[in-house]
Amino acid sequence: MALLRHRAAGRRDPPGSGHRRPRRPSPLRDRLALLGGGPSLWRDRSDRAARPRRLRARLRDHVPRRDAPDLGAGRRLDPAADLHRGRHQASAPSRRGPRRAVAEPSYRRAHRRRHRDARRARVPLSRGERTAERHVGAVLVDELRAAIAIARKDLRSLLRYRIAVASNVFTPLYQFIIPAFLFGSAFAVNGHASGLATTLGTDDLAGFIFFGGIIGAIISTAFWGMAMSIRNEMDMGTLEPSWLTPTSHATFIIGRALGGLTIFVAMQLVLFAFGIVFLGLRLRAEMIFALPAVILAMGAMVGVAYMLAAIVLLIREANFFIDTANFAFGTITGVSFPITLLPGILQPVALILPTTYAVDILRAQALGSRPLFDMRLEYAVLVLLTALLFPLGRYAFAKAELLMRRRGMLAQY
């Protein structure tokens, strides 16, 4: 509420004197009281003149002590007026005691530490000027986490479509297992596969088909689950945003390998359960000894998947290439029949494939069939091929990626 000052009558200084005589302020009156002719009031106080009063420091307003005619402060004759308009003091602040130490909250300390570290940090060098030495443990852990995240993403995408999950189980059944079993049974004599026994030394037709199907599924996972997934990402337009992340591009292949192998294990469990119940499949405890060969075959096929991914990045249409290469690779490996039945020109090609030795070791351990060579020699060759194919595949993938960058082919589908 606006306050009007009732100025007392007094003698004025002559004009031009340059000096204002001190005036004693008269009481402040409420505007409504002035208009109504009532007694002088100050808001809700009694009918007496307004007087300065003490307030807390944060409620006081400093008013100069010299010549404040609108407020009637006078020349240091009267104390300054107090107003309800806070934060400033009417007089000099009183001396305070020593300030008590207050514990700083933890979030403030962390905030100040982050800002201090950011000020001290140097501008990072370009990639070409950085040193090659890094903390290997931390880098490997980060890449492993990224690979696991990619595998989880692929599994979630697959599990969203239940028909696709069922297709992964039933497709090997009606395309490979059931036709091969019926075809072999048609030539059996009194339920005995005499031709298979003569060639391999075992007449277990169901075991021959199912254990060959394990290696065939590993081959299909490498071709379709790892290599072809790059092309699928290109078709969906998500490859370029994915490669803009700080994750190594080779880690995407590892992540898809983990996701594909998880699907492979689940699918094989269902297929073996079907074979035991309906096709008379018999399992032996000795098949556990073939597990190292299967693991080595997986590592070798990851290297092959890198090579295939390099080809997929460079060619426009990869479906026909992947389908044809998958069929040829599985056929020459001897998934469906012994490689001794292949034409002579293809048998040397079969001997340079790591899956040929893996399927031969698996059948020899699980079925007791005759191996092609001595088991120790086959293991040595399998280890050698795995050690060669994995770095060779990484090298081919890196070269294809470099070529794509130079040509600007990453965003072209």
Least confident range of 35-39, 348-352, 394-398: 35-39
Question: Of all residues in the chain, what percent carry a pLDDT higher than 70?
Answer: 67
Q: Which of 120-129, 308-317, 369-378 has the highest mean pLDDT?
A: 369-378
Residue pLDDT, tens place only, 100-121: 666 667 767 777 777 676 666 6
Of residues 343, 170, 336, 143, the one with CA closest to residue 253: 143
CB-neighbour burial class of residue 133 (10 A; exposed 0-12, middle 13-18, buried 19+): exposed
pLDDT band of residue 183 (cuts 50, 70, 90) is confident
The CA R_g of the chain, rounded to the nearest whole Å, is 44
Short-list 303, 259, 297, CA closest to 398: 303
Closest by CA position to 227, among listed 148, 322, 132, 135: 322
Given a contact cutoff of 8 angstroms between Cβ atoms, the answer to whether 160 and 261 are in contact is: no
Q: Mind listing the pLDDT tens digit for each residue in 51-101? A: 544 444 444 444 444 434 444 444 444 444 444 444 444 555 555 556 666
Instruction: Report the residue count for the chain.
Output: 413
CA distance 230 to 257: 12
Convert the pLDDT of each residue in 232-277 to its tens digit.
887 787 787 888 888 888 888 888 888 888 888 999 999 999 999 9
How sure is the predictor about 401, in pLDDT bands with cuts at 50, 70 and 90?
A: confident
Top pLDDT among 298 and 20 is at 298
pLDDT digits 0-9 by tens, 283-323: 888 889 999 999 999 999 999 999 998 998 888 678 888 98
pTM: 0.63
